[in-house]
Amino acid sequence: MQKLILADIADIPAAHPDLSGVTVKSVIDPTTVNAPRGMLSIATFAPGGFHQLHRHPASAQIYYLVSGRGEHLTENGPVSVRAGDATYAPVNAWHGFRNTGSEKAVLLSLYSPATQLSEAGYESYAGEIDTTTAPRLAKVSLADLRGDAALDENAGFIGLGVYWLATRDTVGTESFLLGASSFEPGGVHEHHRHVKGDEFLYILEGGGEHLTLDGVVPLSAGEIAYIPANEYHAFKNPDGVMTRTLFGYFGAATLAEAGYEVRDSPSA
């Protein structure tokens, strides 16, 4: 397990001509955690900031709007998005983003299978916007979701709600996924591992203890744990605290594909 502190990662002003008013943090990639199956970046858009229509010939992308509001851009016009919305751009799909609010907009992006932008490829859109056809966009809103009832105490989920945002089942992802979770005070996700999926856990609010076989690692808001495939891990939320997180897998598009094994005993 490796811990990443977002405040310690530099905001780099975007230099590409397709972007304006944007800074980017490169959070998960081969240079930070030796990630082999995907990457995660966080972009901050000033009011009016934008990333023009573009596509990646060799990688799909998941967006999640952490805060603010804006528009997901398509070749058939924009689609409004708000904090808590996830959108999906398959390989070669045209997409972009514009901040339409008066405050900064923070946008989390996942890529897979590319682990860095040079692997994803990049092409700017040069055509006309065809508004005669309604925009087609795979979008999921966290506010509309219910927790996965199958993930109960018998599966090691105690006081924990899990919400599947962008997966193979919800939007058709192929090699990665994004979910959200909320820990009630005292909630626990018991020791487990994913044999075929590298995982990250991003603390949005609250915080608690990330439990490894080597000890306890505290996690607070604005911090991310990166857990390689096949490594046991757990999370314990303290009493009196509500914790909200985002999580995801690289290398798997559903929980079943990632594999899920609860640790039965100290010798497991």
Mean per-residue pLDDT over the chain, rounded:
96
- Structure token digits, residue 250: 């690289």
Per-residue pLDDT tens for 123-175? 999 999 999 999 999 999 999 999 999 999 999 999 999 999 999 999 999 99
For 234-262, the pLDDT digits (tens) are 999 999 999 999 999 999 999 999 999 99
What is the band of 268 on the pLDDT scale with cuts at 50, 70, 90?
Answer: very low
Angle in degrees, CA 37, 40, 46, rounded to 5: 160
Where does the pLDDT of residue 266 fall: very low under 50, low under 70, confident under 90, or very high at 90 and above? very low
Helices and strands (H and E) in the chain: how many: 2, 21
pLDDT, mean of residues 34-38: 97
Exposed e or buried b per residue across 150-187, where buried means at least 16 C-beta atoms within 10 angstroms of its C-beta: ebeeebbbbebbbbbbbbbebbebebbbbbbbbbeeeb
The yes-or-no verdict on residue 265 having pLDDT over 70 is no
Instruction: Report phi then psi at 160, rounded to 5.
Output: -140, 125
What is the mean pLDDT of the segment spanning 3-10? 97
Structural domains in the chain, CATH included, are 9-124 (2.60.120.10), 143-262 (2.60.120.10)
Radius of gyration of the chain, Cα coordinates, nearest whole angstrom: 18
Average pLDDT over residues 86-94: 97
